[in-house]
Amino acid sequence: MKAMLAMGSLRGQLLRWLLLPLVLLEIINTISVYYNAVDAADMAYDRSLLASTRALAERVSVEGGKVVADVPYVALDSFETDTLGRIYYKVTGINGETVSGYDDLPKVPANVPRSENYPALVRFYHANYNGQPIRIAALLQPVYDDNMRGIALIQVGETLDARKGLTLKILYDTIAWQSSVVLLAGLLVWFAVKLVLRPLMQLKHEVESRDVSDLSDLDPALVHKEVRPLVQAMNASTTRIAGLIASQRRFIADASHQLRTPLTVLKTQAELAQRELECASTASPELRNVVASMAATTDSTVHLANRLLMLARIEHSENREPVPVPLRETVQQVALELALTAVNRGIDLSLEGDGEASINGQALLLHELVSNLVDNALHYTPRGGSVVLRVQPGETQVVLEVEDSGPGIPPEDRDRVFSPFYRAASTMQANPGGSGLGLAIVRDIAVLHRAELELDQGAGGRGLLVRVRFPRAMPPPAA
Amino acid sequence: MRILLVEDHTELQHWLSKALRDANLSVECADNGADADSLLLTQDYGLVILDLTLPRMDGLEVLKRLRARGGKTPVLILTARGGLEDRVQGLNLGADDYLAKPFELAELEARVKALLRRSAGNESLVYECGALRFDTVSRMFSYFGENLQLTPREHAVLEALITKGGKPVAKEKLFDQVFSLADDANLDAIELYIHRVRKKLDRKEPGAAAITTLRGIGYLLQPAEAKA
């Protein structure tokens, strides 16, 4: 969990790494766009300012040795409506005298270069007039008549409202556009991350929905090339774990296997001793008892070794291909095998339900499961009691029930009875030779077959009812 | 008839041979596969009891060589390998029976006797259940020393039950032995014949045989007193 917090989210990281530089770039871009906009606006408005200046210049002439300007108000009016701002002008004569207009219009600063954009001798500059910034075009216009020639200076200034409006509009447009680009990029990252992470999510789902015992490799092709090494490393780690588990299972199998021969010797010796005692008339009942319990202990040790081997074998057979197993037939087979025990103990053993239904699995293990359940039921059922087996085929499930009329298991103990070597206090007397592995084996086999296991009360609130719900084997699709 | 016991575990070899000798059988022992193989090459035995995990030559190899030579000696395999595959492989290679360790001594003796009987060619056998006897040669039933009169189907039912030697018979199996394919009979029809046979067996004195019904499972023929 700590690592998770430290790493933060992939999406957040991507957003930070992508969006921060992007925003920075957008800001630089906006600034440059702004200045370009200012230039463009200046250029556009300068052109019309020059046009106004020229129009004014055409009305400047020399009359009687003096420069005169004939400026009708109408002309100025039209300028003003065009530019939406105020227009100021000044015509300066050859000798620097003010011919017409506003005398105090700011002079052309010395360092303003001539504009290269127009064939006219024009200079543009910014100035302040009457407390507001204005742009002025200063045009040098040659004037002459028959007597004199010289240069008149025609200045037209306009307030900056219009060009400011334009630049602001361009700026706002740019900002709006850039922001939507950033927003779009953010959204793209969001969805791209989601899209890109989808295979990882699928992998996660696959890992989560796996069977606990499934240690097979994950397919690296499920994810992107970049993530494959991770999957491969996971697979390698799983393989090592599987190897470890397998070697432990082998050890259990080998150990219980190795026990068989000495146990056979012990069993043979105990049986021979019992026979000798039967023939010898002088043997004390005490000695007979001792040898009989030795034989019984040997039997329960054999039972334990067999169970251990069975547990190891269950785990070993996980990789085997399941085959359809007729459950009712299996139950009947087990019932036939254990019928003598039942009859000898005066227990009424019966099988109900006659529809056959197949389940997918391992025949040997299913036999073992049923056998353990019936064996248990017979152990805990008193003489004169009954054990009822039921196989109920349903739409999607096949339900196996084993019901006995024994003491049952109190609800609080029901979870624990499935743990290996757990033995309920009440069972110690009823079945002293039990290994405490029977139900653990049942559970393991049930898990292997994806079956659900339930413990319940028998009919009338007495005894134990074990219910195993197997998924029904689907008939193979017609080829 | 001599028996060859091939078992590498000395303790087990000792006690098994003692048990078999106690049962009046003559036993020779070998403690590895190679010795067993050469003994089988030169000697004639009525039965071989063969462990599978053996030094110098595997038990299955000994069996394979014996059968390859055309040896007909019955072979009973004893093994701690409990797997179904081993069992199938052993039987495929020509073993006659299979016993997984650890086993009951009585079980071993019963199988040994059955195999010896078979190898002696003596198929005549009498099955008994209390006072009920069935002779496989004359194919006749007797009950308390008298001939038991049975219809062919009743006979088939009782024969299927008594030849099982006190073990239960699945009702489907019983049905197959009593009715031929041509018969259009219901599985429950078997109950009728069971009922009739039961009536004929119904005697109060000790030695009476009785058929127990295992509902949904099958039937079991036992001496009546075993049924408490």
- Average pLDDT in the B167-172 region? 87
**According to the model, what pLDDT value does residue A2 have?**
47
| CA atoms B114, B116, B118, B120: torsion sign | negative
**According to the per-residue pLDDT averaged within each range, which of A94-103, A154-163, B32-41 is highest?**
B32-41
Please give the residue that has the higher pLDDT: either B22 or A249. Answer: B22
Question: In this complex, is the C-beta atom of B23 within 8 Å of any C-beta atom belonging to chain A?
Answer: no
CA angle, A210 then A213 then A216, to 5°: 70
User: What's the CA gap between A395 and A472, in Å, rounded?
Assistant: 8
Number of H helices, E strands in chain A: 10, 14
**A208 near A25, Cβ under 8 Å?**
no
What SS3 string covers B76-112?
Answer: EEEECCCCHHHHHHHHHCCCCEEEECCCCHHHHHHHH
Spatial contact of A433 and A418, defined as CB atoms under 8 Å apart: no
Query: Residue A361 is encoded by which pair of tokens?
Result: 């699995």
Q: Which of A442-451, B32-41, B81-90, B218-227 has the lowest mean pLDDT?
A: B81-90
pLDDT at A374: 92
C-alpha span between B198 and B196 (Å, rounded): 5
pLDDT single digits (tens) A16-55: 888 888 889 888 988 888 888 888 888 888 888 888 888 8
Between residues 30 and 89 of chain B, which touch chain A (CB distance below 8 Å)?
A: 80-84
- Give A261's contacts (C-beta < 8 A, 6+ positions apart): B9, B12, B80, B101
pLDDT at position A387 is 92
User: A235 with A217: CB under 8 angstroms?
Assistant: yes
- pLDDT above 60 for A251: yes
Q: Which tokens go with B56? A: 């110098």
Chain mean pLDDT for chain A: 81
**Interchain CB distance below 8 Å, A335 and B214:** yes
- pLDDT band of B81, cuts 50, 70, 90: low
- Structure confidence at residue A479 as a pLDDT band (50, 70, 90): very low
pLDDT score at B76? 92
Beta bridge partners of A69: A60
| Long-range CB contacts for residues A451-454, cutoff 8 Å, separation at least 24 | A451/A359, A453/A418
Which residues in B lie closer than 8 A to residue A387 (C-beta atoms)? Answer: none
Residue A317: predicted pLDDT: 66
Each residue's pLDDT tens digit, A303-341: 777 777 777 777 666 667 788 889 898 999 899 989 888
pLDDT band at B6 (very low <50, low <70, confident <90, very high): very high
Q: Which of A254, A257, A259, A264 to mutate to test the interface with B (most CBs of B within 10 A)?
A: A264
Confidence of residue A12 (pLDDT cuts 50, 70, 90): confident
Cα separation of A451 and A221, whole Å? Answer: 31
Q: What is the mean pLDDT of residues A148-160?
A: 85
Neighbour-count burial of A348, counting CB atoms closer than 10 A to its CB (0-12 exposed, 13-18 middle, 19+ buried): middle
Pairing of strands B75-79, B97-100: parallel
Strongest mean pLDDT among A146-150, B137-141, B213-217: B213-217
Residue numbers of B between 195 and 214 with CB closer than 8 Å to A = 212, 214
Question: What 3-state DSSP class applies to A122?
Answer: strand
pLDDT band at A7 (very low <50, low <70, confident <90, very high): low
A265 contact B CB<8A: yes
pLDDT digits (tens, 9 = 90+) for A432-477: 556 667 788 888 888 888 888 888 888 777 888 999 999 887 765 5
* In the block, residue with structure tokens 């001939």: B147
Residue A243 has pLDDT above 60, yes or no: yes
Which letter does DSSP use for residue B226 in this model?
A: G
Print burial letters for A253-266: b (CB count within 10 Å at least 16), e (below 16): beebbebbbbbbbb
Residue A3 pLDDT greater than 50, yes or no: no
Neighbours of B37 (CB within 10 A): 20
Considering only CB atoms, which chain B residues are within 8 Å of A264?
A: 12, 80, 101-103
Q: One-letter amino acid identity for A334?
A: V
What residues contact residue B28 under an 8 Å CB cut-off, 6+ apart?
A: B2, B3, B4, B5, B39, B43, B45
Pairwise CB contact (< 8 Å): B170 & A275? no
At B4, the pLDDT band (50, 70, 90 cuts) reads very high
DSSP A278-308: HH-TT--HHHHHHHHHHHHHHHHHHHHHHHH
- Is some CB atom of chain B closer than 8 A to the CB atom of A202? no
Per-residue model confidence as pLDDT tens digits over B189-228: 888 889 999 988 888 888 888 888 888 889 998 888 754 4
Chain A closest-CA separation from residue B190 CA (Å) = 16
**Contact indicator for B180, B197 with CB cutoff of 8 Å:** no
pLDDT for the residue numbered B145: 85
Mean pLDDT of the A423-439 span? 63
Mean pLDDT of A58-62: 83
What tokens appear for A327 in the block? 């459950």
The per-residue pLDDT for range B8-27, each reduced to its tens digit, is 888 889 999 998 888 888 89
CA distance, residue B217 to nearest chain A CA (Å):
6
- Residue B103 contacts A, CB cutoff 8 Å: yes
Strand ranges (DSSP E) for B22-91?
A: 26-30, 47-51, 75-79
Cα(A115)–Cα(A94) distance, integer angstroms? 22
Instruction: Report pLDDT for B48.
Output: 92
The answer to whether A165 and A38 have CB atoms below 8 angstroms apart is no
Q: What does the pLDDT look like over A268-303, one tens digit per residue?
A: 888 888 888 887 777 788 888 888 888 888 888 887
Work out the pLDDT band at A80, boundaries 50, 70, 90.
low
